[in-house]
Structure 1
Amino acid sequence: MTMTEQPTSTGAAPRRLLGTTDLALVAAFAALIAVLAVIGGIPVGGAGVPITLQTLGVLLAGAVLGPLRGFLSVGLYLVLAAVGLPILSGHTGGLAPFVGVTAGYLLTFPIAALVVGLVVRLAARAGRVGPLAILVGGLLGTVVNHLGGVIGMQAYLGVDWATAFSYDAPYWLGDVVKALLVAVVAAEVHKAFPQLLTRRG
């Protein structure tokens, strides 16, 4: 039995957790996040952490693919960055960013995607996958990511919590706007492809 299969008690063929289509979507969204991460990059705030479209891709992955595939796509992106591909903000890669000032943001990216995906999945089960539900998920994912960022900056810079929160504050407006964009885009995607949240072979 492989890691992608679940045993059945009826003797039927094992059900794969992720099919080839799912894996392709995971890889495609990892690539999308990479592209969005290296576009521009404007350092702001006391810690000099750059503003990019990276978080838009993270939230979109969870909103479009759901919790599992969204989490995996962001995780794949981070693994590729960790092994040295220059796909983080500023065309950087390797392990250094994961122990630096941006570590908290990076390490909570998959969790943010997971949170968004869970909210969207619950909304889908209730038959209400619309911009409002997706926006709620996006904002919750944003809160998770920012809390991780604050914790990371506090630990790395050795500043107090108030200072760490002040460094994080300039990024909120941009990330709320990104959550709004994700809500609009993902809602249209799910309207056009209502079966997208179903894992497929």
Structure 2
Amino acid sequence: MTRRLRIDATDIARIAVFAAIVAVLGLPGGISVFGAVPITAQTLGVMLAGAILGPWRGALSMLVFVVLVAVGLPLLSGGAGGIAVFLGPSGGYIVGWIFGAFVTGAIVHAGGRKPTWPRTILGAVVGGILVVYAFGIPVQSLITRLPLAETALQSTVFLPGDIVKAVIATAITMTLVRAYPRAFRFAQRPAAPAVKEAAADAAVDSEPGTRVP
């Protein structure tokens, strides 16, 4: 049976907050690489969105961000915005943030479980780096008219910084798990054993002759 994605007011607020976090991470600007794609801190926000919000809500937060950029808000590094950015070398990477957040969340929250260090770092690397590269590199190659292999080789300059961001995202996520578990969706679910125990107690109390005077 397929579970429906339920979005409540709290979810909407969290989705908006993480879209805003990605925007704030772009305020310091970026460092251009080969005059094409800048190195920015914004992918840290992508990793955090997936790791904390989970796959669907994390992806929705990035979708909100991408739509706001598309309509012209200057939310990207250096104050860039508008549909034109999606036609440039960075366009594939930006669209890849949506899918990167989803994959990050799917790995970190696999089976609806509590995040762990191994799954979180794996999710940040696979979703926040590899998936984003999988969208970004082909588009960059197409726009710059460089061979795909050469573009991929040039993109390795991002790796050290992205790995550092994955470690930071993991540390923040695991700190939140301990200090503020309510930030995560799994913490909002009622504990099944407690519910069953309460139901069993109620059933016993309702039987004749079982009440304690």
The answer as to whether partners of 1:132 and 1:183 remain within 8 angstroms in 2 is no
Which runs of no fewer than 5 residues in structure 1 stay unpaired? 1-14
Normalised to the residue count of structure 1, the TM-score between the two structures is 0.85
The residue aligned with 1:41 is 30
Cα deviation 1:129-157 (Å, max 9, x = unaligned): 22221000001011011121111111111
Q: CA RMSD in A?
A: 1.8
Q: Distance in 2 between matches of 1:114 and 1:48?
A: 26
The answer as to whether partners of 1:47 and 1:167 remain within 8 angstroms in 2 is no
Match of 2:147 among 150, 155, 160: 160
Q: Among the aligned pairs, what percent are the same residue? A: 38
Alignment of 1:101 with 2:97, yes or no, is no
The residue aligned with 2:124 is 138
Q: Distance in 2 between matches of 1:188 and 1:124?
A: 19
Q: Distance in 2 between matches of 1:154 and 1:169?
A: 14
The residue aligned with 2:106 is 118
Match of 1:190 among 177, 184, 190: 177
Cα deviation 1:61-109 (Å, max 9, x = unaligned): 0001101110011110111111111001110100011111101101110
The residue aligned with 2:79 is 91
Q: Distance in 2 between matches of 1:18 and 1:156?
A: 37
The answer as to whether partners of 1:26 and 1:72 remain within 8 angstroms in 2 is yes
The residue aligned with 2:44 is 56
The residue aligned with 2:200 is none
Which runs of no fewer than 5 residues in structure 2 stay unpaired? 189-213
The structural deviation recorded for 1:38 is: 2.3
Q: Distance in 2 between matches of 1:58 and 1:16?
A: 20
Say which is worse superposed, 35-44 or 83-92, in terms of deviation.
35-44
The residue aligned with 1:7 is none
Normalised to the residue count of structure 2, the TM-score between the two structures is 0.81
The residue aligned with 2:14 is 25
The residue aligned with 2:197 is none
Moved over 3 A (4+): none
* Change in 2 beyond 3 A, CA 1:183/1:118: same
* Higher RCO (CA < 8 A, seq sep 6+): 1
The residue aligned with 1:181 is 168
Q: Distance in 2 between matches of 1:191 and 1:54?
A: 25
- Which structure has the larger Rg? 2
The answer as to whether partners of 1:121 and 1:197 remain within 8 angstroms in 2 is no
Question: SS of the counterpart of 1:50?
Answer: strand
**Structure with the bigger percentage of helix:** 2
